[in-house]
């Protein structure tokens, strides 16, 4: 019997396991899913948990419940190395797991661009645990302010104004007044900065959507610093290229992502930002017996631009790789991956968003927010988690 091993229980890995079990019975193949945690994380909603607008429990869905009855062995463990030539995966706890077919769906890592002190002193928002840390830190800043009266405690900085940064800034703009009320401080003592290296926020997005986002956020007190690359983060301050310094005890870095280092270390052919080069079937170009999907891979879109590392493409790649492994087991031709970009919507806090759906239909405000919520519902329905309880 073949042994299919999937690394990562995020959007891509989970959908791959679910798709495989639609076509491949447990007598034809054993499937093992290896994940660092016992739960799947809804990382597209982390900005809400980081400010306390959504409970962290609601973003953690038990993998054993999602895969109940699917005959998928779930191994809780952290992958420490992949040896594609030996068809083996090593875990941090010393276990070695061998495979016939491997799917690497290990996601991305934060890109620090070598910025001095960023890794050491800034928060990142890539997991539920990090979101919890940010929330607790914000609370502690307000609590400390009551005793220390240091204005930098109430000055919050988000580095990067891509989709992740803007969504977080939107949530913070809505949530900080509540933190302030609870601490008994007035909002004129609280400052929220978004610092972006590019000349404007949401680089590359349609200008009218950018303008709407900027207007909405500015009206809620967000201070944008654009054309201002962060060059250094130290305890208590952040410095930008122009020499300007912002004194703060809170920097949350959303300045970009890169591929997973394990993929680079395993010797898979990668592009300069560590994402694996894959063929039309999502197999590694250097090791075609391994599928590499989701944020961990690099796929060129039809318009000659790399596909963005988004959740919707990760699910689609999970499904496509599940189908192609099935095809391989059945000895039929593989199907090229055809991305279907349904839209891009950036939330701007509670009940506001901007974006584009169906290629060019632009949405704003509450409608856009509801469209984003609907896509989240669709995803939960797809993975069978609509009525999931932890
Ligand atoms: P990103 O790379 O899209 O944006 C990072 C931003 O940080 C850029 O605007 C960049 O100019 C800026 N930056 C880089 N270095 C800087 C510096 N030194 N100082 C200040 N600013 C700096 O990263 P992201 O926002 O994490 O998004 C990653 C991917 O995930 C993207 O493809 C994005 O579209 C996608 N995403 C989508 C959604 C959504 O669909 N709602 C939400 C989050 C992320």
CB 117 near ligand 1, within 6 Å: no
Q: Given ligand 1 and candidates 45, 125, 162, which is best to mutate, with the most ligand atoms within 8 Å of its CB?
A: 162
Mean residue pLDDT across the chain:
96
**CA 75, 375, 384 angle in degrees (round to 5)?**
40
pLDDT band at 387 (very low <50, low <70, confident <90, very high): low
Does residue 384 register a pLDDT over 80?
A: yes
Residue of minimum CA distance from atom 8 in ligand 1: 162
Identify the residue whose C-alpha is closest to ligand 1 atom 14: 255
pLDDT tens readout for residues 216-261: 999 999 999 999 999 999 999 999 999 999 999 999 999 999 999 9
Over the range 160-191, which residues count as b (16 or more CB within 10 Å of their CB) and which as e?
bbbbbbbbbbbbbbbbbeebbeebebeeeebb
- What domains can be seen in the chain, in order of their start residue? 2-36+77-110+257-341 (3.50.50.100), 118-253 (3.50.50.60)
Active site residue 335: no
d(CA 13, CA 153): 40
Is the model's pLDDT at 173 over the cut of 70? yes
List the helix and strand counts (H, then E) for the chain: 10, 24
Task: Please give the share of the chain, as a percent, with pLDDT higher than 90.
Answer: 94
| pLDDT tens readout for residues 73-97 | 999 999 999 999 999 999 999 999 9
Out of 109, 167, 171, 196, pick the active-site residue. 167
CA 308 to ligand 1: nearest atom? 32
- The mean pLDDT value for 107-127 works out to 98
| pLDDT of 336 over the 70 cut | yes
Please answer whether residues 102 and 289 qualify as being in contact, where contact means their C-beta atoms are separated by less than 8 angstroms: yes
Predicted confidence (pLDDT) per residue in 175-206, tens digit:
999 999 999 999 999 999 999 999 999 999 99
Check if the beta carbon of residue 49 is closer than 8 Å to that of residue 59.
Answer: yes
H helix intervals, 157-206? 163-183
């Amino acid at each position: 019997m073949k042994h299919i091993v999937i690394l990562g229980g995020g959007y891509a890995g989970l959908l791959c396991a679910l798709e495989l079990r639609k076509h491949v019975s447990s007598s034809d193949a054993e499937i093992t899913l290896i994940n660092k945690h016992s739960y799947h994380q809804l990382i597209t909603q982390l900005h809400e948990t980081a400010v306390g607008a959504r409970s962290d429990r609601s973003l953690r869905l038990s993998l054993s419940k999602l895969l109940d009855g699917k005959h998928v062995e779930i191994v809780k463990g952290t992958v420490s190395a992949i040896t594609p030539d030996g068809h083996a995966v090593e875990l941090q706890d010393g276990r070695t797991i061998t495979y016939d077919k491997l799917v690497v769906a290990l996601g991305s890592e934060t890109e620090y661009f070598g910025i001095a002190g960023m890794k050491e002193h800034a928060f990142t928002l890539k997991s539920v645990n990090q979101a919890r840390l940010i929330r607790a830190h914000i609370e502690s800043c307000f609590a400390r302010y009551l005793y220390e009266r240091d204005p930098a405690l109430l000055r919050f900085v988000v580095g990067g104004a891509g989709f992740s940064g803007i969504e977080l800034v939107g949530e913070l703009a809505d949530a900080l007044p509540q933190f302030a009320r609870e601490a008994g401080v007035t909002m004129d003592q609280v400052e929220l900065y978004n610092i972006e290296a590019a000349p404007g926020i949401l680089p590359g997005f349609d200008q009218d959507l950018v303008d709407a986002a900027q207007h909405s956020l500015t009206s809620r007190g967000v201070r944008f610093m654009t054309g201002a690359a962060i060059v250094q983060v130290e305890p208590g301050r952040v410095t930008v290229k122009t020499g300007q310094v912002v004194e703060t005890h809170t920097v949350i870095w959303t300045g970009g992502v890169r591929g997973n280092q394990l993929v680079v270390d395993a010797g898979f052919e990668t592009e300069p930002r560590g994402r694996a080069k894959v063929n039309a079937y999502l197999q590694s170009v250097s090791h075609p017996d391994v599928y590499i999907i989701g944020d961990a891979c690099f796929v060129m879109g039809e318009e000659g631009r790399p596909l963005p590392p988004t959740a919707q493409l990760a699910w689609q790649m999970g499904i496509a790789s599940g189908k192609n492994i099935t095809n391989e087991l059945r000895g039929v031709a593989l199907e090229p991956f055809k991305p279907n970009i349904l839209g891009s919507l950036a939330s701007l806090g509670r009940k506001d968003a901007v974006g584009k759906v169906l290629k060019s239909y632009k949405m704003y405000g509450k409608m856009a927010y509801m469209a984003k919520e609907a896509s989240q519902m669709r995803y939960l329905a797809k993975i069978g988690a609509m009525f999931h309880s932890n």
